[in-house]
Amino acid sequence: MKNNNNKTKAFVFDFDDTLATTTAKVIVRNIYGKYITSLTPAQYNTYKLGVDEDFDFSEFKNPEFIIDGNPTGLIELAKEVYSEGHDFYILTARSEAASNPIAEFLKRFSIEAKTIYCVGKSNKTNIAKEKQTVLMAIINTHDVTYFYDDDDKNIELANELNCRAKKV
């Protein structure tokens, strides 16, 4: 949508620890399924799996953790840019199962995302590269793109593009 200075603007927000906090944890299990530890989204961003370890994202697929999430202060900016008619996107490392619950969370604040991009396809997905690819597509259809995320690598790769990336 065009705003009053005739520039199309896109605002792209990560979900976890950017627009909302939840109590969902990423579980680390060994190859036999035995629990090793649980990680917050921030800890997951930097955790390196051991040789016989794997991630269990089952809590992140549970819609109740998302819908009942707590908004961060950035929700006020999200409400403002949405009410001004700018294109509003969610770009999350969660799997596609999170799309509808994230939409429900946003409804609590009278926000509707143009698209909710869920790039967490598997445990082996390079989230930062997937987010960069989606951002490139958004940038190509807007004059100005703003990106908000809590992960250093996501911001680093976003800064390689023609967008205004901000770590929160």
3-class SS at 147? strand
Reference 137, options 119, 120, 156, 111; nearest CA is: 119
- pLDDT score, position 138: 97
**pLDDT string in tens for the chain (168-residue length):** 444 456 799 999 999 999 999 999 999 999 999 999 999 988 988 899 999 999 998 888 888 899 999 999 999 999 999 999 999 999 999 989 899 999 999 999 999 999 999 998 776 778 899 999 999 999 999 999 999 999 999 999 999 998 999 999
**Rounded Cα gap, residues 129 and 154, in angstroms:** 8
3-class SS at 49? coil
State whether the Cα torsion 119-125-129-133 is positive or negative: negative
Q: CATH: 3.40.50.150, 3.90.1150.10, 3.40.50.300, 3.40.50.1000. Which one for 9-21+63-167? A: 3.40.50.1000
pTM of the complete model: 0.89
- pLDDT score, position 76: 97
∠ Cα 149 100 163 (to 5°): 25
List, as one string, the DSSP characters of 80-108. HHHHTT-EEEEEESS-GGGHHHHHHHHHT
Q: Residue ranges of the domains in the chain?
A: 9-21+63-167, 26-61
